[in-house]
Amino acid sequence: MEERNFTFVEEFVIQGFYDLPNLQGLLFGIFMIIYMSILIGNGLIIVIIKTDPVLHTPMYFFLGNFSFLEICYTSVVLPRLLTNLWSQNRNISFMACAVQLCFFLILGATECFLLVVMAYDRYVAICKPLHYPVIMNQKLCIQLVVGAWLCGIPVQIGQTYQIFSMPFCGSNKLNHVFCDVIPLLKLTCGDTSLNEIYAFIVTLLFGMVPFLLIIWSYINIISTILNFPVGVGRCKAFSTCSSHLIVVILFFGSASITYLRRKSTYYPGLDKILSLFYTIVTPMFNPLIYGLRNKDVIVGLKKILSK
């Protein structure tokens, strides 16, 4: 067999925004402000829900878990990005990259399922209001949340292992803002067709299936709301559901465009922007969408401030 000399990769260089050398300080400031706003905003929602007995309902139980998830999800990506911008040292070890990817995929799957759970909660509340207290009991709520957090773990660990068991050779420059599936597959020197198929199937199972379930829920919800008499009840139902729907569109829209494309159609600039939508923009707007548009949360905030 012909011998080939490969330089096997022991660490990666996350290039991030290396092509904007004069804006490194500005980008650091912007991302630091965004990260702090995510931590403070989502943390405040958790505190409000925890301290206000009025908000001890299934809907706000799921919202509290979602806010905590957003903090974890963003913390997988942003601290490393901020460190790279501050120190200009973009190196990340092979193992650290694998760990980042694994947690990123697990938390991404959790967000997909948790959004489905929140849609199901609204479906039962609006379409079956008389049975809501019986169906959405405390035991079921806990089971749904635990299931959302755990069901993606084995599959995403398997996907991470499959990617990092491929031979990485030659260039170690990862043209992305964090360790992600498609940029990593671009650096492998073997046949990645099976990896791409596996990633596509995982995206369908953890992305498109939850998205279709959410759409199905909202078709039923909207048809039920339209049968309500015109008034405050209809407006409140539309307002509650529209908040959740905005988050769904932002998250699933940008993530689907990224992961449902083949490696050959990967465009680093576009994918960097899209990745910022589902890792940073959605968590940043979550407190604004659910907080400023929700009177109960605003009342809870006023109670905390008055104390």
CB 177 within 8 A of CB 276: yes
What domain count does the chain have? Answer: 1
Sign of CA dihedral 162, 164, 165, 170: positive
Among the listed ranges 144-148, 198-202, 255-259, which one has the minimum average pLDDT value?
A: 255-259
What does the pLDDT look like over 169-192, one tens digit per residue?
767 888 888 888 888 888 887 777
Sign of CA dihedral 43, 48, 50, 56: negative
Query: Percent of the chain scored above 70 by pLDDT?
Result: 88
What does the pLDDT look like over 184-242, one tens digit per residue?
888 887 777 788 888 888 888 888 888 889 889 888 888 888 877 766 566 666 666 77
Residue 41 identity (one-letter amino acid): G
* Domain span including residue 89: 11-306
In a domain, 2, yes or no: no
CATH assignment of the domain containing 117:
1.20.1070.10
Q: Which long-range contacts (CB under 8 A, 24 or more apart) does 56-60 make?
A: 58/121, 58/136, 58/141, 59/118, 59/121, 59/122, 59/125, 60/296
In a domain, 83, yes or no: yes
CB 111 within 8 A of CB 69: yes
In a domain, 247, yes or no: yes
Among the listed ranges 23-27, 72-76, 134-138, 167-171, which one has the minimum average pLDDT value?
A: 167-171
In a domain, 6, yes or no: no
Residue 5 identity (one-letter amino acid): N
User: Under DSSP, is residue 105 helix (H, G, I), strand (E, B) or coil?
Assistant: helix
Does pTM surpass 0.75?
A: yes
In a domain, 107, yes or no: yes
Query: What is the spatial distance between Cα 98 and Cα 164, in angstroms, rounded to a whole number?
Result: 7
In a domain, 250, yes or no: yes
In a domain, 147, yes or no: yes
CA separation (Å) from 141 to 7, 65, 98, 131? Answer: 51, 11, 32, 15
In a domain, 154, yes or no: yes
